[in-house]
Amino acid sequence: MLLLGVVFLGVLLAKVGVRELWHELTLLGWGLIPLLLGEGLAEMIHTLGWRHCLSGPLRSLSWFMLFRIRMAGYAINYLTPTASLGGEVTKGALLAARQRGPEAASGVLIGKLCLALGHLLFVILGAALVLWRVKLPGPLWVAMLASGGLMAAGMFIFLGLQKYGRLGGFVRWLAARKFAGPRLRQAAGEITAVDETMKRFYRERPMGLPSAIAWHLVGYSVGIPQTWLFFHLLNQNATWTVAAGTCFLSMWFDLLTFAVPQNLGTLEGTRAVILRAFGYTTLMGVAYGLAIRLAQILWSGIGLILYTRLASSGPQPPAQYPAPDLSAPGLNGHTVQPQPPSVQRISAFQEQE
């Protein structure tokens, strides 16, 4: 997919002309700076949303620390061909370095879901408010609605798995088989602990999910004034309705092409399609996409610097728990040998089920 993106981007640049594209970008002048800063502002707001997804001691982490961790994940997602997965692993590892336990994994999983649900809701609101005015080919609308519906169904299934602690169900089933080894049982115990943490989050903090989604909506809304400013800098008398429609439709395409590494080619190509639908040129659409890409590259570089600093600071000492009393007598006066924590978690979880 990465190679296809490179080829598609090359075709786009050849079509609009590199010299013409450069001239279009130079027209932005110093106005490019607030366009670049807007991406960072949105990520700062998204950090507030992520904070509502954390559990236990991780909730006491400062906003600045969470922002640094989030931007580290942002950089890994953007600079590596991992389709937005590598950055989530990075965030989980950096959280776990501050506080060991299942809360790190649950915070990343719930945070990723809330971000996606906020993205979906933003697109739905946009479709209801302004996108019905956009003239796109009928087959394209059908494809977008169908794929969007499938993604929405997947998100709500993922929500159900989290809420009812079923993410590790298959692993627990394997661990209960006779052929299961100690490593598989340990993995089942660890994912069971994550399931329990997520169930507790949804049970004890019912407003955590809607609060996070609300902040993500605000973060995504930063794209509307960004888009309006882009039109204004190019001396286009675009209304706020056109700017909002462009932003909503752009976010819809981004939702459908999330698996493309760095959105290479798709970012510029979809913006060209969108601006053509609003009556503008392909050249302007590609310039719009490249302006967004420049902002992403800038903040990915900042995130990479923050990641190196976080990684070099080393892990924090793990939380201390009281040692179990191994000398407690059993029912027959014999010493009870406690089960490993992973087996205890699986047994307790199966009893609940």
pLDDT of residue 338 exceeding 70, the answer is: no
Which one has a higher pLDDT value, 261 or 142?
142
pLDDT at residue 70, rounded to an integer: 96
pLDDT of residue 213 exceeding 80, the answer is: yes
pLDDT at residue 287, rounded to an integer: 92
CA–CA separation, 107 and 95 (whole Å): 9
| CA 237 and chain centroid, separation | 34
Nearest in space to 274 (alpha carbons), one of 242, 296, 297:
242
pLDDT at residue 334, rounded to an integer: 46
Place 58 in a pLDDT band, splitting at 50, 70 and 90.
very high
Buried b (16+ CB within 10 A) or exposed e, 246-273: bbbbbbbbbbbbeebbbbbbbbbbbbbb
| Candidate ranges 99-108, 121-130, 131-140, 203-212; pick with highest mean pLDDT | 203-212
Query: What's the angle, vertex CA 221, arms to CA 218 and CA 226, rounded to 5?
Result: 135
Evaluate whether 342 touches 189 at the Cβ level (below 8 Å): yes
pLDDT at residue 323, rounded to an integer: 41
Mean pLDDT confidence for 39-48 = 97
pLDDT of residue 345 exceeding 70, the answer is: no
CA distances from 1 to 7, 11, 186, 259 (A): 10, 15, 35, 9
Query: What's the angle, vertex CA 174, arms to CA 170 and CA 177, rounded to 5?
Result: 145
Q: Which long-range contacts (CB under 8 A, 24 or more apart) does 205-208 make?
A: 205/55, 208/52, 208/53, 208/110
CA distances from 130 to 135, 140, 214, 247 (A): 11, 17, 20, 10
Place 194 in a pLDDT band, splitting at 50, 70 and 90.
very high
pLDDT at residue 321, rounded to an integer: 37
pLDDT of residue 298 exceeding 90, the answer is: yes
pLDDT of residue 167 exceeding 70, the answer is: yes
Nearest in space to 311 (alpha carbons), one of 102, 91, 79:
91
pLDDT of residue 104 exceeding 90, the answer is: yes
| Candidate ranges 6-15, 26-35, 260-269; pick with highest mean pLDDT | 26-35
134 CB contacts (<8 Å, ≥6 apart)? 245, 249, 277, 278
CA–CA separation, 248 and 221 (whole Å): 9
